[in-house]
Structure 1
Amino acid sequence: MKKLLTLVLLLVTASSLQAKDRPDYKRQAETVTDHIQKTFFDSDSGVYFKTTKRDKLDWVWLQSVMFANLAAAARIEPEKYAQPMDAYFKALDGYWDDKVQIPGYEPGLTKGNGNDKYYDDNAWLAIAFVEAYETNRDARYLKRADETQRFVLSGWDDEIGGGIWWHERHKDGTKNTCANGPAAVGCLVLAKHEPEKAAALIQKARDIVAWTNSALQDSDGLFDDRKVVKTGEIKRGKLTYNSALMLRANLGLYRATGEQAYLDEAIRIGKAADWFLDSQTGVYRDALRYCHFMIEADLELYEETGDTHYLKRAQHNVDALYARWEAEKPDDMMSSACLARVLWLMSEVEVK
């Protein structure tokens, strides 16, 4: 009995030390989120300015990161952040174009009939709206997520074998990983809450992942940026957010289907993502607007596999990025929103 009590005390002490040594991510997340609210929020429009100059409202894809940040905050601190999230959701209607055949979000404030929509902008919002729905089961969020995802999927056609365009008028003439990855994730998060559509959404996610793998995945498992439809040229250049969303899409397909190949592929991408780390600092080389998506993917992969490599990679990045933020706060809204988002996610992590 004495040995058992000693063991229990040792375990409790070790656990307490581990918890004590971990940064207070919840406090940090709240600090950054409140800084954004104070520095960038425009009370007249209900959305956020792009920079500290406060002379231009931010584009919708940058607003989408702030909405995702508030969705995470509202899940963890609903009494403080649920109301601001809901008010922001309503204010984003300023970007919503319902005067077209398939409504969607314009990049800037619109009076309708804008026809300048980006499929990736809308994909980020669809994912964030599902997360908002999961905080309180308010059907408005799920309805708008479904409507937004309908626009995203309308960007798919059979040119070059499939894939979703970057822009509705085919600006740049490309189909991009940044549109297809989040489109697949959007299908899978919606499928969890729409049983009558689940089979079709999961199949669409399969199709999107298969096309993106064939068109834009490099031999190391990571993803190039985009493919020019007319010429077939692949625009090289690997960014964290492209591989991150494809990692999450594979994880989502594994969870939806139980097929081991999808988990194996997610792990392959996760291991390959060490390539993105700076050799001196161990921090992702990309700007926050891209690398925070990889941190989120790291946490999802850790949750699924229990492999602490991904947790340590995420934690090291978050700690370094918060230290940078404390030393010099960025002038743009999105960088702070990206950081706050991953801080909230880190605060929820249970170390296995």
Structure 2
Amino acid sequence: MNNIKKYIAFSCFVVAVYYSNAQTAGDYRPWMDSIYSNISHYFYDAGNKLYYEEYAPGEKQVHSFLWPLCALIQAANEAAVINPSVNYVQPAVDAIDQYYTTATPLPSYQASVVKEKKDDAFYDDNQWIAIAYIDIYNRTNEKKYLDVAKAVYDFMMTGYDTAAGGGLYWKYADKTTKNTCSNGPGILIALQLYKITDDKRYLQTAIRLYDWVNMHLQAPDDLYYDNIKIPSLKIDSVKYTYNTGTMLQSNVLLYNITHEKKYLQRAEAMAASATKFFYRKNKLPGNYWFNAVMLRGYIELYRINHDKNLLGFWYDEAERIWHDEKDANGLLGRNVKKKSLIDQAAMLEIYARLQALK
């Protein structure tokens, strides 16, 4: 009997050591499960099939703007890649559907729940949804997601004119800025639709937007400024990780499509510059979702050049956040008073994408 007890104890020890080593080596599935469980518990309004923006003990919760759902739907798809037996996507789709509006000349998704208030439609919010839906279509072959992406493309092109030489506005009802965050994802939608349909008008749009962003918003260090003001043409020179992410990914996709090495060379230069600029004192800037979008670009590049040095700091950052920026409830975020849906969704996407690389 004592030998049996010793064997069981030893076996438990071996399993515990194995599990610990697997986790530190990048088995993020338990962390993904924890995050998704917390999203469902703290942020989901099951009665209305909607999500709350934030959670803070003792404070009334309000339904989310559309932007955090852009993060959630992408995270849901990436989680489904790892665990296809769970229907992560449908609850997010059910929520997003409640932002659908025909108040714009072409149908779109507005920033707030339609039944609660009338709001502006952000071109980039619509684009993030389309990007996620294209990924869902590529995974499931369900045509309804591709149809939405095509409709978003048509809507986003209502934001194009010749002010400042071209480019897309940021908001439908606000013609005062053209942003990297509305043109970068616009390029990605057009390139992905071209890959699926072989319709050359999508490729032409992508190259036209790509050339405009590089002409007006690219910084000397190969990164990107945030926006150009209309009509003054003044540049807002702040740099965000997600703008690097969309343009980095765009360069890799353009290389895949055209086989022109200039795009790959630009992508590699951009990644090197971004690592130097954004990863300081062993951490990235605090917006997890901006960083998740940048990770997409790094992974796209990694699939081409297989340079493991590209991703090393991403694993370090993922580990650091889990250990240093998680509260007693397991909720992630640097704000100690309240936690946000977008932060949980962003980290779910990051852990899922890093897990998929395994």
- The 3 A distance-change label for structure 1 pair 211 and 33 is same
Partner of 1:292: 292
Counting only pairs closer than 5 Å after superposition, residues 227-238 of structure 1 correspond to structure 2 as 227-238=228-239
Partner of 1:267: 268
AA aligned opposite 2:343: S
2:179 to 176, 196, 219: 176
Report if aligned partners of 2:245, 2:293 keep a CA contact under 8 Å in 1: yes
Q: Which moved more, 1:181-190 or 1:287-296?
A: 287-296
Q: Alpha-carbon deviations, 1:263-289, whole Å to 9, x = none?
A: 111111101102333532x22124213
- 1:60 has 2:66 as partner: yes
Alpha-carbon distance in 1 for matches of 2:321, 2:130: 27
Q: Alpha-carbon deviations, 1:50-87, whole Å to 9, x = none?
A: 0114521111111110011111112221211x2x4124
Report if aligned partners of 1:164, 1:175 keep a CA contact under 8 Å in 2: yes
- 1:94 has 2:98 as partner: yes
Give TM-score, length-normalised by structure 1: 0.87
AA aligned opposite 1:65: A
1:189 to 188, 192, 211: 192
> In structure 1, the residue corresponding to 2:168 is in which secondary structure?
coil
AA aligned opposite 1:348: A
Alpha-carbon distance in 1 for matches of 2:98, 2:191: 27
Partner of 1:344: 352
- 1:30 has 2:38 as partner: no
Alpha-carbon distance in 2 for matches of 1:115, 1:107: 6
Counting only pairs closer than 5 Å after superposition, residues 227-266 of structure 1 correspond to structure 2 as 227-266=228-267
Residue 253 (structure 1) shift: 0.9
- The 3 A distance-change label for structure 1 pair 284 and 32 is same
- The 3 A distance-change label for structure 1 pair 276 and 30 is farther
Partner of 1:320: 320
2:156 to 129, 152, 159: 152
Residue 20 (structure 1) shift: 7.5
Q: Alpha-carbon deviations, 1:167-201, whole Å to 9, x = none?
A: 11225x11000111111111112222223x2x211
Residue 150 (structure 1) shift: 1.5
Partner of 1:335: 343
Report if aligned partners of 2:123, 2:182 keep a CA contact under 8 Å in 1: yes
Residue 137 (structure 1) shift: 1.1
> In structure 2, the residue corresponding to 1:78 is in which secondary structure?
coil
Partner of 1:49: 52
Residue 112 (structure 1) shift: 11
Unaligned runs of 5+ in 1: 1-17
Identity of aligned residues (%): 25
RMSD: 2.1
